[in-house]
Chain A
Amino acid sequence: MSAMTFLGPVVLLLLVLGFVTIAILFERKVLGWMQGRVGPVQVGPWGLLQTVADVLKLLLKEDIIPGKADRILFKIAPVIAFVPAFAVLAVIPYTDRIVFADIGVGLLYFIAISSITTIGILVGGWSSNNKYALLGAMRSAAQMISYEIPLVMSVVGVIMAAGSLNLTEIVKAQESLWFILPQLIGFVVFFVASLAELNRTPFDLPEAESELVAGYHVEYTGFRFAFFMLAEYVYVFAMAGLTTVLYLGGWNPLFGWTFLPPIVWFAAKFLLIVFILFWIRATLPRIRLDQLMQLGWKVLLPLALVNIFLSALFKEVSGIGNFF
């Protein structure tokens, strides 16, 4: 065991916290520009310290627990929601050398651990003893269960093409061609399903302000609320990383431009995905609950199954079979 075994995760945690701080500011700036506003400009130069000020404000707020709430569950719910969000980052290969846990079933580990967060959300909504919080938690659980299936089914094509569940092996299989081209249907299904898993617009029904006040975290204040928000943005980090690894070739360079180091390539693709997430939020309206279920079960799941079938079929065709 080297010092990096212990220091590495701490560095990663600080990096992720830094990413979340910048990402929230970036999201507000992008939303502002797309809506013809300037975004936050008051705190610090160009509004750079806005998120820092917001976090400080959250830390200083009074910590309120509703009188009729289930106190213990109310306290541990943010923890249950956040811990898996950070634990999934362990298996993402940032470059061929910067990877924390190179386990054989990395892809499945990511999907399995991330489903635990739903328990945290459900428990948080239930223990608040508030009908809006409960409704938000219910919606969140229903959404996560129904979109986890197309998410898993859509990556089966990638697993078949790479012949491995290990994320490092999956990246290495994309040296000649990124999976986004042969697995285009799979990528679209994966991306839509990951938007729903992240509870982001157009699938932000669990937090629909206009109908549910704020969803499952309506009774949370101060630092507990910050933890739910943090878990959400850490999942943005993790999901963008996973999309990069699965479909955009991870640290592999485009056009053979190897003069840029691998980590820069990874970061560039990763940031592109993050930007697209914010872009979609600024562009699309929220969909209705019945449309959400219909999209998940009647469109995405059949598409994912068709993708598996086509991948298996093309794999046997000579000539293009190498790419699938």
Chain B
Amino acid sequence: MISMNGEFIAFFLLSVMAIAGAVFMINFTRVVHMILALAFTFLGIAGIFVTLNAEFLAVVQVLIYTGAVSILMLFGIMLTRHRDETRDGGRPWHAFLCFLGVGGFFALLMRIIYGSPFNGETAKTETFSVSGLGESVFKQYVIPFEVTSILLLVALVGAIILAKKERS
């Protein structure tokens, strides 16, 4: 049984915040409103990271997603089609089919989640520290880390080359 302690209340509020942001994101008609709802979801998820003692992850979530990604999206939309609204397609059977598909997918996911047991022990998150994270990333997993960074660099250079080609 779930006890009503502060952690549960915080988790409840933050998850409602994250889910509400996502629902609003889908239901709003103006693109700018959608992005704000999305930023709200990102904040909620950052809050959930805090309740899991992953402070570093939470702060990076705010820095990258709420700060950078949302602002870049807003920036792009305001510069291009900032009066745009999405309209209903007017196809009721379409919505029904979508509902069936999504419902089926949800049932499948829930079945898999509840059917598979968690292996291994739960980590002690209370003693987690940023220096510990740094040591495991830069000592134990340094090769995957460097490969990932090179991959991102290649993607960045590729994006610049593609953008340059379009202009000329």
Interface residues of A (CB under 8 A from B): 70, 73, 103-105, 108-109, 111-113, 115-116, 118-119, 122-123, 126, 134, 137-138, 141-142, 144-145, 148, 163-165
Contact = CB atoms under 8 A, between A and B. Distances in A.
Interface string B55-86: 11001101100111011101100110010000
Nearest to A109: B59
Contacts of A108: 56, 59-60, 63
Contacts of B72: 145
Contacts of A104: 55-56, 129-130
Contacts of B36: 73, 119, 123
Given A103-B55, A104-B130, A126-B78, A112 B71 contact: no
Interface of B: 30, 32-33, 36, 39, 55-56, 59-60, 62-63, 66-68, 70-72, 74-75, 78-79, 82, 129-131
Contacts of A73: 32-33, 36
A108 B68 CA distance: 14
A163 B30 CA distance: 46
Contacts of B131: 163-164
Given A112-B60, A126-B32, A126-B82, A141 B130 contact: no
Nearest to B75: A141
B78 to A, nearest CB: 5
A85 to B, nearest CB: 14
B62 A112 contact: yes
Q: Is the interface of A mostly helix, strand, loop or mixed?
A: helix
A138 to B, nearest CB: 7
B35 to A, nearest CB: 9
Nearest to A72: B33
Nearest to B55: A105
Given A111-B63, A118-B67, A123-B74, 4 more contacts: A73-B33, A108-B56, A138-B78, A145-B68
Contacts of A144: 71
Contacts of A122: 71, 74-75, 78
